[in-house]
Structure 1
């Protein structure tokens, strides 16, 4: 993703979408945001992904996360495709609960480094890869994941990652491997023993290791 690193301010792009023209920062307001891109409308893996995202839309809403998708086709195609997506989701009478950006000129895909050079359309043009960008309320990029066009994403994992990002933004902790909400978290190494004891009233436990170092410190958030 050339030129855009974690912690950078996410571009305040303008785009046509299924809910009209937006400026990205205005669309987000004070919310977190997740932008996920798709290779093409009316394609099988993309349809399953959008349907799963629609199913989980209330979960993203609970976390104050605004969802927005992107594909390289037109707004008209997006609107027609949305009906297929919601039918696949077994909710044919419900509208798609988030907008889709039209990037038929691939301008935004190029700007954000989204194109997959190995997957091309019938005209030989590169398709959009399956990118995920999570942006915090300060419009800073907090996470980016880049999947090839051939691999569908796990939206339950994206919710887990957002839970971690939101927790660690508020507390001086990190989340260990396979962490999920409710599990113990790890005290960050920069906190002294005294600071940790003062901050974490639930107590801190330290895992003993052969080196004798006390860096594996756990607490209940």
Structure 2
């Protein structure tokens, strides 16, 4: 199990683009690893098709994406034809790799098994995990969905935008924030520093407690 802030394991794996060493595959990029219960399953097919459509947006953000499913590379390659057909993708080469984890080694190591969902042999399926990693190879965000619930990849893009913004600016993003929206000044920024730190200006929201902690500023 990997906790927020931990360095992500530098595992070796067979993938649809050949063997990889994970950290070397990442390079200096951000990365997203997202897992799937099995090949040739309906929800997984919709998800990988959606990510294939979003690859240009991930690339704009300097993010590499890689999937994982508990089947062989050979199975993945055949499944890709279905994914491309479903999404009407015309690319000759699939735009991101898929890891083979037939023995569920990575699924166990990374805490990605869904005990309530079993395959035909009675083994737990891999849940729909999302791991977002920074260029420092550390885990910045994780989400775990059950096998029956497909992910919202617009939310994953939004989370990446927030992580990258707050990595460099002294702000936090509020509920339902989207890129370009107002942000909250971090509580660690002293009152005497706010004006110089946020030249676009800021406002302090009045609350019954009288405390001046709700400081809002345009996105830096």
Q: TM-score, normalised by structure 1?
A: 0.97
* Cα drift, residue 197 of structure 1: 1.1
Distance 1:91-1:107 versus aligned 2 partners, 3 A rule: same
Q: Which moved more, 1:140-149 or 1:85-94?
A: 85-94
Contact 1:83 1:92 in 2 (8 A): no
2:179 counterpart SS class = coil
Change (3 A) 1:167 1:81: same
Q: CA deviation at 1:195?
A: 1.4
* CA-CA distance at 1:95 after TM superposition: 2.7
Q: CA RMSD in A?
A: 0.8
SS in 1 for 2:34: strand
**Contact preservation (8 Å) 1:184, 1:219:** yes
**Stretches of 4+ aligned residues off by more than 6 angstroms:** none
Aligned twin of 1:150: 148
Q: 2:67 aligns with which of 62, 66, 69?
A: 69
Gaps of 5+ in 1: none
User: In the alignment, which of 92, 109, 113 is matched to residue 111 of structure 1?
Assistant: 109
Q: 1:5 and 1:68 mapped to 2: Cα distance? A: 20
Work out which of the residue numbers 30, 35, 38 in structure 1 matches 2:36: 38
Structure 2 length-normalised TM: 0.98
Match of 1:128 among 126, 129, 133: 126
Match of 1:84 in 2: 82
Mapped partners of 2:194, 2:66: distance in 1: 38
